[in-house]
Every structure is written in structure tokens, then in C-alpha cells.
Amino acid sequence: TGGLSRSIERGTKGIEVVLRYSLFNIFPTSVEIILVSGMLWYVYSIWFAV
């Protein structure tokens, strides 16, 4: 009962950490890479965006 509660709490905390990390670190970096590649492709050519 107490162990099960701790286990569930640790699991939800782990999921929260993963979601927070992906929301504030991975997602903005991916958007930035896509936007910069798109701008380079639009202004120059495909070879600068790759």
C-alpha cells in the first residue's frame, strides 16, 4: 500500500520530467532547426538547408 503509492508517485514524477524536458528543450530546438532550414532553403538553395 505505501510502497505502491510511492511507486505510482515516482512513475508520475518520471513522466512529468520527460514531458517537461521535451516541452522546454526538444520541441523549441526542433522548431528552430526547421525554421532556419526553411529560411535557408527559401533564400539560397536546398544545398544550404541540408
- Residue 14: the pLDDT is 94
Please report which confidence band the pLDDT of residue 49 belongs to, taking 50, 70 and 90 as the band edges. Answer: low
Please report which confidence band the pLDDT of residue 2 belongs to, taking 50, 70 and 90 as the band edges. Answer: confident
C-alpha grid cell for residue 19? Answer: 514531458
C-alpha grid cell for residue 12? Answer: 508520475
Total domain count, the chain: 1
pLDDT digits (tens, 9 = 90+) for 10-39: 999 999 999 999 889 999 999 999 999 888
C-alpha grid cell for residue 13? Answer: 514524477
* Residue ranges making up the domain that contains 31: 2-49
How far apart CA 3 and CA 5 sit, in angstroms, is: 5
Q: Which residues contact 37 (CB under 8 A, 6 or more apart)?
A: 49, 50
